[in-house]
């Protein structure tokens, strides 16, 4: 079983729609989590950290469910510029190892 | 603030040749990561340093890959000899040391795109 698992998609979503991604992790000791965004042929960049209480940044909302070991990302009112691959990341406990999922490819359709 | 610097940006080599990549992390970042990203996949950790010590190299193919960070600042990753399946983007990232108060993110360089023919 992979340490961090994501549905690779692709997700093709009309502009203005709401889209949600889930990610599961296998190591219950993972201490922190992130969502990164990666544009085609570019490096990954931090989209947002994920906190236990859930957090929101504009149109983006991240949730963490430690009991079920999953993380979610919700994008509201999607824009064409949201088209990218979204990578789920878990940080290991004690060693700071950052483990990435395969990524979920999102395409926003005009 | 300067970001993570990597060179070269692109490299094409023949199989069985050797190649080296260089990374200079953000100033003050103790943790340095090397990732391999094959097309269509997420980044896979090859090796992680904290200062000049290795924290994790469990997924580094040690028969052909080596990495060092001698002075705890910049780092080199070497492949010798290269195989066709080593064709990928090699990403370097750095971060501050994690603390309970600060969820430190990793910043990535632009990567080196390696093609082995």
Q: pLDDT, tens digit, for every residue of A60-99? A: 999 999 999 999 999 999 999 999 999 999 998 777 789 9
pLDDT at residue A53, as a whole number: 87
| Chain B residues whose beta carbon lies within 8 Å of the beta carbon of residue A34 | 103, 105
Q: Is B43 on the interface with A (CB under 8 A)?
A: yes
CA angle A56, A57, A58 (to 5 degrees): 115
pLDDT at residue B97, as a whole number: 78
pLDDT at residue A31, as a whole number: 82
pLDDT at residue B100, as a whole number: 58
Cα A16 to Cα A61, A79, A110: the distances in Å are 16, 6, 9
Model confidence at B98, pLDDT cuts 50, 70, 90, reads low
The pLDDT tens digits for B12-66 are: 999 999 999 999 999 999 999 999 999 999 999 999 999 989 999 999 999 999 9
Type and span of the H or E element at B34: strand B31-37
pLDDT at residue A33, as a whole number: 93
Q: Is B35 on the interface with A (CB under 8 A)?
A: yes
In angstroms, rounded to a whole number, what is the distance separating the alpha carbons of residues B22 and B78?
Answer: 9
Find the mean pLDDT for residues A20-49: 94
Selected for mutation to probe chain B from A96, A97, A99 (highest B CB count within 10 Å) is A96
Give start and end residues of each alpha helix (H) in B1-117: none
pLDDT at residue A97, as a whole number: 87
Give bridge partners of residue B67 from the DSSP assignment. B77
Q: Is B60 on the interface with A (CB under 8 A)?
A: no
Q: For residue A105, give the nearest of A15, A3, A32, A19 by alpha carbon.
A: A19
Q: Report the percentage of chain A scoring pLDDT > 90.
A: 81
Closest CA of chain A from B50, distance in Å: 9
| CB A10 within 8 Å of CB A106 | yes
pLDDT at residue A96, as a whole number: 79
């Amino acid at each position: 079983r992979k340490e961090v698992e994501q549905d690779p998609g692709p997700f093709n979503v009309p502009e203005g729609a709401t889209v949600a991604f889930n990610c599961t992790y296998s190591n219950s000791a993972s201490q922190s989590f992130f969502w990164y965004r990666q544009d085609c042929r570019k490096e990954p960049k931090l989209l947002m950290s994920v906190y236990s209480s859930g957090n929101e940044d504009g149109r983006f909302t991240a949730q963490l469910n430690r009991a079920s070991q999953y993380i979610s990302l919700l994008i509201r009112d999607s824009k064409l510029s949201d088209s990218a691959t979204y990578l789920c990341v878990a940080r290991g406990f004690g060693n700071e190892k950052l483990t990435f999922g395969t990524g979920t490819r999102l395409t926003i359709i005009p | 603030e300067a970001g993570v610097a990597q060179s070269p940006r692109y490299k094409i080599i023949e199989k069985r040749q050797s190649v080296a990549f260089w990374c200079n992390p953000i100033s003050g970042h103790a943790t340095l990561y090397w990732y391999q990203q094959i097309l269509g996949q997420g980044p896979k950790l090859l090796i992680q340093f904290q200062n000049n010590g290795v924290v994790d190299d469990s997924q580094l193919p040690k028969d052909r890959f080596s990495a060092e960070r001698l002075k705890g600042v910049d780092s080199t990753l070497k492949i010798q000899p290269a195989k066709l399946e080593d064709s990928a983007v090699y990403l370097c990232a750095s971060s501050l040391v994690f603390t309970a108060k600060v969820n430190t993110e990793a910043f990535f360089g632009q990567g080196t795109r390696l093609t082995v023919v």
